[in-house]
Amino acid sequence: MLLSTCIVVSIVCWAITSLLLAAMLGAMFSPDKEKITSRIIISSLLLVPSLVIVPLSFAAFIILCIMSFIILISIFGIRTAIELVRDGVPEMDEDGNIVESNTKIKPTAPWV
């Protein structure tokens, strides 16, 4: 049930995004309000290419995120990334020095 709902929602989002992209491009190529029939024709002609462009842009975004993650890991290293995840981003003062607090307060659960 959840999978079919996700599929339906993704198809609806894909169709709406494609329709809005085609309408935007049609309005760009025919900006005058008097040319409403040419705007409708251009928008309907651009609907098919925008149906193809929208999923490709999602795939390109995912590939770009993966590539940036790989580049960042290769620049900073896996050890630095693990330390940042484990310890958090350190606090720095105005001069760029890392501020280390002497009191380490560990959060506790309220039922402990």
Whether residue 103 is predicted with pLDDT greater than 90 in this model: the reply is no
Query: What residue segments make up the domains of the chain, in order of their start?
Result: 13-87
- DSSP letter, residue 92: B
Cα(20)–Cα(27) distance, integer angstroms? 10
Residue 98: its pLDDT value, please? 77
Q: Alpha helix (H) ranges present in 77-102?
A: 78-87
Cα(5)–Cα(82) distance, integer angstroms? 36
Whether residue 52 is predicted with pLDDT greater than 80 in this model: the reply is yes
Q: What is the pLDDT of residues 10-26, one digit of tens each?
A: 889 888 988 888 888 88
* Average pLDDT over all residues of the chain: 82
Contact 90, 99 (CB under 8 A): yes
| Tokens 């995004």 sit on residue | 17
Does the pTM exceed 0.95? no
- Tell me if residue 98 falls in helix, strand or coil: strand
User: Is residue 90 left, alpha or beta, with left meaning phi > 0 and alpha meaning psi from -120 to 50?
Assistant: beta
Whether residue 57 is predicted with pLDDT greater than 70 in this model: the reply is yes
